[in-house]
Amino acid sequence: MDNALWTLYARPALITVGEVLAIIVPLLVAVAYLTYAERKIIALSQLRKGPNVVGPFGLLQPFADGLKLFLKETVIPSGASPVVFVIAPILTFTLALIAWAVIPFAPGAVVANINVGILYLFAVSSLGVYGIIIAGWASNSRYAFLGALRSAAQMVSYEVASGFVLVTVLLCAGSLNLTDIVLAQRHVWFVVPLLPMFVVFYVSGLAETNRVPFDLPEGESELVAGYFVEYSAMTFALFYLGEYANIILISGMASVLFLGGWLPPAPVVPFTWIPGPLWFALKAALLAFGFLWVRTTFPRFRYDQLMRLGWKVFLPLSLGWVFLTAAVLMGTGWLPGHG
């Protein structure tokens, strides 16, 4: 009986916990060092050194920052709703982690290989707006609340275009399963026929993560720091880490949907020697670098420019590309499962 219980319950549970830790631990390390990479890249673009004191080349700076924030006192404003105030950053950070459950790193290397993986990703990424709205409301601050409203409007606006981008990918792959989407790119990555959609998805990712040039919710000149202006210590750190975790998530999603995930650029010997997970990591790292590079290059948009780009440019373009993709696939007989 004990062996049966172990086989039925304990062993699968331990395997699942091991798989979760195998993803979350490297992800947390990657988030920590993405903050380090950003500071170094910005420093290089501004001809200064960046972190260079704590550890060799400043490599221990992320751990020093984490320790400092962990030891600082968490201040909750007297007029705030304390429970909701604390829940908001936890929700934001948690959603950035659980989305990785369906991301495949290699054939079979995925925690949950569900058939509706892309819908799961879209649902989880859409829920991220709630953490920001809750934070702005619970802070009992006009600045924080205005920043939360800005963020909600911005994220919803660009999620609409992202949804149509996902539809074009689904039309080409014929499946909602992310592993099947990667395997559908064996001959050609989707970034080639769907290049405009890749650009729309990537720029929308910048907007949904509130990154420059779409960091209107933070607007330091008029909002001080936006929806998290009242946060400090670890609650602030969770928002900060959640933003960088979402950057890595968007980069991972883009590499799976458009860049062939773990597939090499070509089936030639030098490329096939590199393992699939490393290809996935390299593609995600390259896309994450783009987030950092854009921050050092472009100024902040005005809010009317941001909304015009989302509703008057990206939405018509992505919707039109859905019809164009469907027409081409139907006309050529290439639509997966058709005929």
Summarised one tens digit per residue, pLDDT across range 110-162 is: 888 888 888 898 888 888 888 888 998 998 888 888 888 888 888 889 999 99
Does residue 212 belong to any structural domain of this protein?
yes
Does residue 25 belong to any structural domain of this protein?
no
Does residue 43 belong to any structural domain of this protein?
no
Q: What is the pLDDT of residue 5?
A: 60
Residue numbers of the domain that contains 299? 72-332
Considering the chain, what is the average pLDDT of its residues?
88
Q: Residue 33 pLDDT more than 90?
A: yes
Q: What is the pLDDT of residue 8?
A: 60
pLDDT above 70 as % of the chain:
94
Q: What is the pLDDT of residue 338?
A: 54
Distance CA 189, CA 133 (A): 37
Q: What is the pLDDT of residue 21?
A: 84
Counting the structural domains of the chain, the total is 1
Q: Residue 288 pLDDT more than 70?
A: yes
Distance CA 22, CA 100 (A): 11
CA 289, 290, 295, 300: dihedral to nearest 10 degrees?
-160
Does residue 115 belong to any structural domain of this protein?
yes
CB-based burial label for 91 (10 Å; 0-12, 13-18, 19+): buried
**Amino acid at residue number 10:** A
Distance CA 266, CA 124 (A): 33
Q: What is the pLDDT of residue 1?
A: 47
Q: Which residue has 């990918």 as its token pair?
A: 169
Does residue 98 belong to any structural domain of this protein?
yes
Does residue 61 belong to any structural domain of this protein?
no
Distance CA 144, CA 139 (A): 7
Q: Residue 300 pLDDT more than 60?
A: yes
pLDDT digits (tens, 9 = 90+) for 304-327: 898 999 999 999 999 999 999 999
Q: What is the pLDDT of residue 248?
A: 94
Q: What is the pTM assigned to this prediction?
A: 0.91
Distance CA 228, CA 223 (A): 10
pLDDT digits (tens, 9 = 90+) for 247-285: 999 999 999 999 999 999 877 667 778 888 999 999 999
Distance CA 39, CA 25 (A): 22
Q: What is the pLDDT of residue 221?
A: 63
Q: Report the candidate in 58, 62, 288, 65 with the shortest Cα–Cα distance to residue 50.
A: 58
pLDDT digits (tens, 9 = 90+) for 176-227: 999 999 999 998 999 999 999 999 999 999 998 888 888 877 766 666 777 8
Q: What is the pLDDT of residue 244?
A: 92
Does residue 122 belong to any structural domain of this protein?
yes
Query: Which of helix, strand or coil describes residue 265?
Result: coil
Does residue 207 belong to any structural domain of this protein?
yes
pLDDT digits (tens, 9 = 90+) for 50-67: 899 998 999 999 999 989
